[in-house]
């Protein structure tokens, strides 16, 4: 048996206004995920309440992508937002606990995703 999942595409400007009501209604932040496609980046913000899974999806350009932080609403987002910055080079604006590219303590310089890093360097 598989659960049904709802994917809703929104604009990045709508992220905070869509997220705030979920917080008020007691939804849990399940995860934030970034997917790199050949021509764009896809961000998924997943929430859950009473086992009902909701996913807000935002499309971002490959170069110079930025997003507002939702840590002012869901503080727990700081881990995901730091990870997304370090892996994909997305600039998350206003992260309440910003590790400045050192969330993962390894020698590699963020962003780790080489293709994105090259593109960011060339931008």
* Binding positions for another protein, rule: CB under 8 A: 1-3, 5, 23, 26, 28-31, 33, 35-37, 44, 46, 51, 53, 55, 74-76, 78-79, 97, 99, 103-106, 112-113
Supply angle C-alpha 89, 63, 105, rounded to 5.
Answer: 10
Nearest CA to 84 out of 74, 107, 95 is that of 95
Cβ 86 to another protein shortest distance, Å: 8
Distance of closest approach, residue 79 Cβ to another protein, in angstroms = 5
Q: Rg of the Cα trace of the chain? A: 15
Nearer to another protein, 76 or 93 (CB): 76
Do residues 116 and 88 make contact, with C-beta atoms less than 8 angstroms apart? yes
Least separation in angstroms between CB 6 and another protein: 11
């Amino acid at each position: 048996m598989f659960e049904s999942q709802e994917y809703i595409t929104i604009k990045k400007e709508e992220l905070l206004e869509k997220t705030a009501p979920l917080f008020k209604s007691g939804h849990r932040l399940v995860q934030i995920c970034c997917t790199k496609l050949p021509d764009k980046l896809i961000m998924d913000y997943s929430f859950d309440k009473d086992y009902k899974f909701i996913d807000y999806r935002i499309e971002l350009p490959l170069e110079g992508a930025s997003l507002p932080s939702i840590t002012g609403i869901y503080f727990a987002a700081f881990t995901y937002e730091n990870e997304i910055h370090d892996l994909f080079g997305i600039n998350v604006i206003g992260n309440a606990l910003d590790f400045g590219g050192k969330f993962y303590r390894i020698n590699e310089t963020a962003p780790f995703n080489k293709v994105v890093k090259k593109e960011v360097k060339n931008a």
